[in-house]
Structure 1
Amino acid sequence: MNLFNSLITKRLAATVSASLVIAIGFAAGVWQLNRASTKIALAANLQARQQMPILNASNGSWTLEEVSERRMIARGQYIPEAAIWLDNRPKPIPAGGGANAAQAGFYLMMPLSLEGRQTVVWVNRGWAPRNNDDRALLPPVKTPSGAVSVEGIAFAHPGRVYELGKASEAIDISKPRIEQNFDLAEEAKLHGWSQSPFILREVETGLEDGLLREWPPLTNGVDRHYAYAFQWFALAFCGFLFWLITGLRQYRRRDVVNGDQA
């Protein structure tokens, strides 16, 4: 019996099973590498756009395409009574890691009425920890009462989390509220005001207002993707080795039984 027949023809079930394991492991490994490459490319693009001149929110009606991932300064006055606290947001962990990586809290979204314009721009002012004893108790945060200048990065939204349907009760827009996700278009309808089609994620300025703004770089998690890719490739290789070694053993046993070896 030749080696080809012993490894493949006589072991069709084992060959098909091994092929599936190898194909799945290889495909998943390549997918993880692609994910890492995508994050690196996005981070490089974001870095390049942030090196461009700083925009001014009051200089015209900016579109999302014009300002996306660009630095921008907005001057105006906060409207704290319309603030939205986005729940279930993990604590931002800057490059290099840190403690309490799994701590949950809020992103504070607050509208800023632009100076000299009848327009509002929403600002992601930062992250604050949640009270574990009373989920409805909002963190103490300082909000300037007068005109302020806010520098941030323009994004389409502050990020989304999984949500099990929308609440059915009426929304009271006259006081701060806790939400799972943020919808720019919905907020414009609720308040009836003109607003920019983007949000500003405020950068760290050293302001002690009770909020954390050490935003993690987009390349966070790249090492994890590489580790996952290695595991999937290792699984594919182990599947091939298991198929090959068990086939060779069966081949040698058949040779011994048939008297082909001493």
Structure 2
Amino acid sequence: MNSLFTALIAKRIVATVSALLVVAIGCSAGIWQLSRAETKIALAANLLARQKMPILSANAGPLTLEEASERRMIARGQYIPESAIWLDNRPRPIPPGGSTTAQSGFYLMMPLRLEGKDGILWVNRGWAPRNNENRETLPPVQTPNKVVNIEGIVFAHPGRVFELGSKKIAEAVSGPRIEQNFDLTAEGKLHSWNQAPFILREVEVGTEDGLLRDWAPLTSGVDRHYAYAFQWFALAFAGFLFWLVTGLRQFKRRGFVNGDQG
């Protein structure tokens, strides 16, 4: 009489190893997705804590990236629109209500000449949609021709997208440029500016300048990670269940055959 162990494992080595691989891969991927979700939650909590610290002033004095990173900051100065950089292939931070399709557009990076000091602060002013008929046509945006006060959150960079090769910035700059990524160091060398070692992502909403600043929270995507984790764990369970059911069927079938021969 065949034992259950023999029917499930000893006579099904290949099936058992395959099932173990499916279970191991599914569980590992599920745990990794849960880890990604927890990391995003922790980053969001850290960002919120830093934003509750006293608001910094870009005009008060030089600050390092470590001192200012992820903190709220105010700045007073005048924009230099002719040196603006439009970062291409940037999805709308928060899609319109009910929409599941990401709308492509630009982030507008513009230097702000700080009032009362010889310094430049690069500002991510917001997002604007791309012209689908002519991708070289820049969105209409209003830029005040006067000293302005802005408020935002400090980041090391505005985010990066995949780019083939390394593109060198031309020496002669005649106006706004469309780029894939923003290199703060390279821009400082190009213009010979005394720049802050960070960028400021503007947070003011309601300003009618043609830009959107409804920035997605850092926890965006957490639900997706949980959904992916559930799918991976479900795959692991399905693999184990398939192995168990097929093994039990074979065990019963062999027991029936042995009973007939007896």
TM > 0.5 fold call:
yes
Aligned-pair CA distance for 1:240: 0.3
**Secondary structure of the structure 1 residue equivalent to 2:11:** helix
Q: Given that residues 52 and 70 in structure 1 are in contact (C-alpha distance below 8 angstroms), is that contact kept between their aligned partners in structure 2?
A: yes
1:188-244 deviation digits (Å, cap 9, x = unpaired): 111111100100000024211000000011111111111111100000000000000
Q: What does 1:63-82 correspond to in 2, within 5 Å?
A: 63-82=64-83
**Secondary structure of the structure 2 residue equivalent to 1:26:** helix
Q: Given that residues 85 and 109 in structure 1 are in contact (C-alpha distance below 8 angstroms), is that contact kept between their aligned partners in structure 2?
A: yes
Q: Which residue of 1 aligns with 2:251?
A: 251
In structure 1, distance between residues paired with 2:221 and 2:100: 17
**Secondary structure of the structure 2 residue equivalent to 1:258:** helix
**Would the alpha carbon gap of residues 97 and 15 (structure 1) be closer, same or farther in structure 2, given more than 3 Å must change?**
farther
Aligned-pair CA distance for 1:157: 0.4
Instruction: Name the aligned partner's letter for residue 56 of structure 1.
Output: S
Q: Given that residues 34 and 229 in structure 2 are in contact (C-alpha distance below 8 angstroms), is that contact kept between their aligned partners in structure 1?
A: yes
The alignment of Structure 1 onto Structure 2 pairs a total of residues equal to 261
Q: Which residue of 2 aligns with 1:159?
A: 159
Q: Which residue of 2 aligns with 1:149?
A: 149
In structure 2, distance between residues paired with 1:228 and 1:212: 30
Aligned-pair CA distance for 1:260: 7.5
In structure 2, distance between residues paired with 1:101 and 1:40: 24
In structure 1, distance between residues paired with 2:52 and 2:260: 74
Aligned-pair CA distance for 1:169: 7.8
**Would the alpha carbon gap of residues 62 and 260 (structure 1) be closer, same or farther in structure 2, given more than 3 Å must change?**
farther
Q: What does 1:131-142 correspond to in 2, within 5 Å?
A: 131-142=131-142
In structure 2, distance between residues paired with 1:124 and 1:98: 26
Q: Which residue of 1 aligns with 2:119?
A: 119
Runs of 4+ in structure 1 displaced over 4 angstroms? none
Q: Which residue of 2 aligns with 1:10?
A: 11
Q: CA RMSD in A?
A: 1.7
In structure 1, distance between residues paired with 2:220 and 2:16: 39
Q: Which residue of 2 aligns with 1:209?
A: 209
Consecutive unaligned residues in structure 1, runs of 5 or more: none
In structure 1, distance between residues paired with 2:25 and 2:71: 39
Question: What is the identity percentage for the equivalent residue pairs of Structure 1 and Structure 2?
Answer: 72
Q: What does 1:44-63 correspond to in 2, within 5 Å?
A: 44-63=45-64
**Would the alpha carbon gap of residues 189 and 122 (structure 1) be closer, same or farther in structure 2, given more than 3 Å must change?**
same
